[in-house]
């Protein structure tokens, strides 16, 4: 289930040698974990000029799937189903047409010298597993330590929804949220933890209802300082007691 993460900062010095003297050049990894291509978190995923099937073609695809499962698309209860499904897709996957960078582009400087991290806990979300196109849902907990300027609190919830309303893995969703905040706001550090239940695991396959998956990503001071990680996790878990 590991997300494919592309490198934008090769782990080499300008002379081509390893940045880490303990790592032989022949064993230098192609990329460092957690560094995504900026196109994944700075702009909308779908360009205005990108070719797409028509709505009629999309509805016909739903009609075909109804036939595939053995249904009769001509019966009364299913006559309008292709249209409804395509309209639902427009809502569920609207994140492809939204720009994460635009959500975070307005910041505020009136912080009175605030120098601790800002935590928003229990951001509820629903996303769709890219492997089975089945929902997974849960909560995101996000913290960042600002440098002079802060972003509106609702913007972090909107950022979560943009990435969640795309086909996803939980690992990739976690990495994208952290990378966007880190790159756009340039704080001293970012911490993201996501807990979610996956219906592709709870209602099919092993059918283990209630099993939760936890993922986390730390950058900057949260990555480098275990005490800050612990404080973040302690504050997140305080609401669960």
Of residues 168, 170, 176, 229, which has the active-site annotation? Answer: 170
Helix (H, G, I), strand (E, B) or coil at 15: coil
Is 240 among the catalytic positions? no
Catalytic residue among 57, 87, 124, 130: 130
CA–CA distance from 26 to each of 11, 17, 35, 70, 217 (Å)?
Answer: 12, 10, 21, 55, 28
In the annotation, is 35 catalytic?
Answer: no
DSSP output for 95-125: GGGS-HHHHT--EE---TT--S-EEEEEEEE
d(CA 58, CA 93): 14
- Choosing from 98, 168, 198, 229, which is the catalytic residue? 198
From the list 40, 59, 98, 129, the catalytic residue is 129
**To which residue do tokens 């229990």 refer?**
122
Question: Which member of 60, 71, 97, 200 is catalytic?
Answer: 200
**Would residue 168 show up in a list of annotated catalytic residues for this protein?**
no
Q: Indicate if 131 belongs to the active site.
A: yes
**Stretch (H or E) spanning 165:** none
- Mapped onto helix, strand or coil, the DSSP state of residue 52 is coil
Annotated catalytic, 172? no
Catalytic residue among 94, 124, 131, 148: 131
| Known active-site residue 141 | no
The answer to whether 198 is a known catalytic residue is yes
The residue from 132, 171, 195, 197 that is catalytic is: 132
Active centre residues (catalytic): 129-132, 170, 198, 200
């Amino acid at each position: 289930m590991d997300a494919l993460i592309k490198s934008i900062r090769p782990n080499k010095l300008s002379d081509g040698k390893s940045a880490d003297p303990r790592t032989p050049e022949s064993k230098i990894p192609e990329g460092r974990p957690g560094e995504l291509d900026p196109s994944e978190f700075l702009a909308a995923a779908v360009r205005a000029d990108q070719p797409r099937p028509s709505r009629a073609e999309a509805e016909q695809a739903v009609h075909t799937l109804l036939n595939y499962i053995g249904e009769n698309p001509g019966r009364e209860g299913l006559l309008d189903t292709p249209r409804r499904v395509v309209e639902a897709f427009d809502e569920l996957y609207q994140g492809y047409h939204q720009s994460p960078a635009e959500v975070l582009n307005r910041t505020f400087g009136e912080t009175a010298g605030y120098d601790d991290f800002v935590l928003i806990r229990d951001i509820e979300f629903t996303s769709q597993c890219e492997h089975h196109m089945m929902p997974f849902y849960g909560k995101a907990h996000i913290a960042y330590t600002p440098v002079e300027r802060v972003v509106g609190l609702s913007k972090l919830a909107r950022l979560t929804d943009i990435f969640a309303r795309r086909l996803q893995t939980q690992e990739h969703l976690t990495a994208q949220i952290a990378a966007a905040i880190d790159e756009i706001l340039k704080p001293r550090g970012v911490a993201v933890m996501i807990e979610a239940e996956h219906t592709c695991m709870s209602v099919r396959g092993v059918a283990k209802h209630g099993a939760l998956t936890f993922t986390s990503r730390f950058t900057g001071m949260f990555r480098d300082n275990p005490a800050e990680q612990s404080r973040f996790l302690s504050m997140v878990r305080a609401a669960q007691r």
